Structure 1
Amino acid sequence: MTDTDATRVGLVPDGTLREELLSGAVRRAVLPGGLRVLTEKVPGVRSVAIGIWVGAGSRDESPLTAGCSHYLEHLLFKGTPTRDALTISSSIEAVGGELNAFTTKEYTCYYARVLDDDFANAVDVVSDMVCHSLITADDVEAERGVILEEIAMHDDDPSDVVHDVFSSAVLGDTELGRPVLGTVDSIEGLGRDTIAGYYRSRYTPSEMVVAIAGNIDHERTLSLVARAFADRLGGTDSPAAVRGGSYTYPDGRGVVVSRRPTEQANVVLGTVGMARRDERRFALGIMSSALGGGMSSRLFQEIREKRGLAYSVYSFASHFADAGLFGVYAGCAPKRVDDVLEICREQLELIAASGISGDELAQAKGQSRGSLVLGMEDSGSRMSRIGKSELMHGELLSVDEVLARVEAVTLDDIQTVAAEILAQPLALGVIGPFDDHDFASAVAR
């Protein structure tokens, strides 16, 4: 780590920034106030992606403020002292770029992707949105209806909602168990002062990461970011610590059924997983690929190909800072739900007892390698990788390092992880036309 004269990148005179070269072409700088800036020059492209990652998500809310992070995501597009909502959107779209944002349980990201010639404007626009949002009372009221419509739209897609149902079955009414969007009641109860207070307390430089990838020059990029954040920088605050700790899972897991007159049953069967920084996550990922990661996976072959019981079936692992989920999803005709759940449970028990085969290991590793490398083909995915790694992991593994960790996974590693994860009490989330269906056998041990 070296100190660099900050005046050459447009910071205040006599200020300093801390700067280092990470893996490959990725460079990292920490500006006064704790703002982290990561850049990656990508040869051969004419695009640039910028993302501002904020360490604020739905797990930072109370039951009364549930949905505040996502509400705020909407409001930051509504206007600043120098730009109204139309100016914000048109300034990016008029040059063929894209501008958007998303909120998760642990962070929010605002991003744009433009041609390299329009990069300076994109930095200015996205930074202005994030740093100088007005959050007026009128905008809060106007956007309330939009968010309520979004909740209604989400509720109309049972294949999405069943994951919220499953989360509540495992995590209960906790900060991680509640939906990111909030509820109708919580959104209707949020006022301008509450949202603005949350914005002021959470959107600080030390909680932000600016990630930029594409056809860029590192020093020019730092100068642009420093200028855009000029009134927010200062002091010697260090970046916020990476989330961590030990999550206390609520006692008891079971079955949560959302009864709806749908044509299809949507189910997620699973249990507690592992935290984001757990080194065993690579083994869990390989296990998940073998179980339900593609058309050649066990679940796809057993449920769809051999028996034709479902169209969509897959497994997944969700990682948080201090907790995790592991589960299998299937969508099927209601009359087939018991057969599908029996096969899912049978495959979970088989892997818990015997692991996977050498052929499955080789295939899952190949799938993981290909997914990682092919996912690095554009500036947007590279921006996401470096931004999320810095904010959520506190480290950036090179592609070669990740590939090496995937390759190092052994059959014994998978057997150990499977025996631990899949031996835990199961939980089940269900959406479908089930008034009095007994699902207890699906989770009984």
Structure 2
Amino acid sequence: MTSRSTKATARTSSEARAVARTQTLIKGENGIGTVRRTTLPSGLRIVTETLPSVRSATFGIWAHVGSRDETPTLNGATHYLEHLLFKGTHKRSALDISAAIDAVGGEMNAFTAKEYTCYYARVLDTDLPLAIDVVCDMLTGSLIEEADVDAERGVILEEIAMTEDDPGDCVHDLFAHTMLGDTPLGRPVLGTVDTINALSRGQISRFYKKHYDPTHLVVAAAGNVDHNKVVRQVRAAFDKAGALGDATALPVGPRTGSKSLRAAGRVDVLGRKTEQAHVILGMPGLARTDDRRWAMGVLNTALGGGMSSRLFQEVREKRGLAYSVYSYTSAFADCGLFGVYAGCRPNQVHDVLQICRDELDLAAREGLSDDEITRAIGQLSGSTVLGLEDTGALMNRIGKSELCWGEQMSVSDMLERIAAVTPDEVREVAREILGQRPSLSVIGPLKDKQTARLHEAVA
């Protein structure tokens, strides 16, 4: 038998959980740059960053679902669903949704990635209540009607065709497959012609119901916003749609796990009748939670992050072998990629690859000079600040941080962390990452003899 005191304790505990919890995560100066989070009993999180000096606001909703959550038969469903949420709700038609934001001069869009999806609107601060109502309505009240599924199928197939017509874009999908294989992370976000043609309204609707409950969502707003007002308006919009429910729940935490990449030394070539050959030479990188990511960012910047970088100087400036050449990192919850991209004439592929391989090997053996590291730290610091100069970028930062890390870091703390990177840390990361045997992805009109020689670049 349960005692009266035990029942009272359980009831008190339940009531405590049912109260919205608000925290100040970053305390700005005079309220400027203050980041706050409110977690509703349903598990819905609302984060805001206040900038009273601007006249705009960006409102977004992040869903904890991406293409890596798809089975092979559902490949492309996340992106398909992104399109369909713009097609109409019980409250608004597709035209009503777009017209509402257009009428106030706002911008509205969405994007799907491998580990998350985001829907957002940027408007004048006075029109923020409208943006909240429209975007929340889309996320909670989508009809996903059969006619819209059929109509949007053609749009997505055209988007796939457009991507395939751009080999500079398509080669990144090929590289992901080279490194990650036929896995959720290795498959294209858009899906394939076959999977898109096979997806049904029922499959997409079930995917929507499974992944778009409050525990999987993060609401983010940045600009001239009042946190408490945003919370009230979001809560009212979700409650009106019956999307909060009566139950208490905990938010879904950041992704965890351990992902093993494919064996090194792989070469994938996709023959296309293009004017250029598009190549990516790369290897496993770091997960986004790895403490060494700051040193990796400095290394990446010094190698291929700007006009003074090693790769740009060696490939383009000194030899004129490519117009576009750069390095980049892709970080996921449990793994990462580092790649060097170059677009060049097909008969110069081997020269370009040899130079890139030589530079990576040199950096792995000898590291970077102190001057290169100092310059890269300055460049990375400046680009970090300049990239956060509008409310859209701020909304992206706090929304993604909440979803992917479960915490917030101020810009000042980010700059301090970048500035604290030491030459030894950069050289250690260079040895570990660049010292691995690379893999290679190529799209272009290569002849059989050229293709056979590509294995030399990863030997």
Fold match by TM threshold 0.5: yes
- The within-5 A match list for 1:223-372 is 223-230=232-239, 231-233=242-244, 234-251=246-263, 253-372=265-384
- Are 2:397 and 1:385 aligned? yes
Aligned residues of 2:50 and 2:224 also touching (Cα < 8 A): yes
Name the aligned partner's letter for residue 129 of structure 1. Answer: M
For the residue of structure 1 that corresponds to 2:49, the secondary structure is strand
Q: Distance in 2 between matches of 1:268 and 1:43?
A: 44
1:373 aligns with 385
2:92 aligns with 83
- Are 2:436 and 1:427 aligned? no
1:16 aligns with 19
- Are 2:224 and 1:215 aligned? yes
Distance 1:279 1:75, change over 3 A: same
Aligned residues of 2:101 and 2:108 also touching (Cα < 8 A): yes
| Cα drift, residue 250 of structure 1 | 3.2
1:166 aligns with 175
Name the aligned partner's letter for residue 412 of structure 1. Answer: D
Aligned residues of 2:52 and 2:225 also touching (Cα < 8 A): no
Q: Distance in 2 between matches of 1:406 and 1:264?
A: 36
| Cα drift, residue 15 of structure 1 | 4.8
Name the aligned partner's letter for residue 19 of structure 1. Answer: T
Name the aligned partner's letter for residue 443 of structure 2. Answer: I
Q: Distance in 2 between matches of 1:393 and 1:253?
A: 32
For the residue of structure 2 that corresponds to 1:283, the secondary structure is helix
1:65 aligns with 74
Q: Distance in 1 between matches of 2:280 and 2:237?
A: 45
| Residues 304-328 of structure 1: CA deviation (Å, up to 9, x unaligned) | 1000000000000100000100010
Name the aligned partner's letter for residue 322 of structure 2. Answer: A
Aligned residues of 1:81 and 1:134 also touching (Cα < 8 A): yes
1:194 aligns with 203
For the residue of structure 1 that corresponds to 2:258, the secondary structure is coil
- Are 2:452 and 1:440 aligned? no
2:124 aligns with 115
| Residues 284-314 of structure 1: CA deviation (Å, up to 9, x unaligned) | 1100000000000000000110000000000
Moved over 3 A (4+): 250-253
* TM superposition score normalised by structure 1: 0.96
For the residue of structure 2 that corresponds to 1:22, the secondary structure is strand
Q: Distance in 2 between matches of 1:424 and 1:33?
A: 45
For the residue of structure 2 that corresponds to 1:328, the secondary structure is strand
1:35 aligns with 44
Alignment RMSD (CA, Å)? 1.2
Aligned residues of 1:265 and 1:332 also touching (Cα < 8 A): yes
| Cα drift, residue 252 of structure 1 | 5.1
Q: Which runs of 5+ in 1 are unaligned?
A: 1-11
| Cα drift, residue 232 of structure 1 | 1.6
* TM superposition score normalised by structure 2: 0.93
Name the aligned partner's letter for residue 118 of structure 1. Answer: D
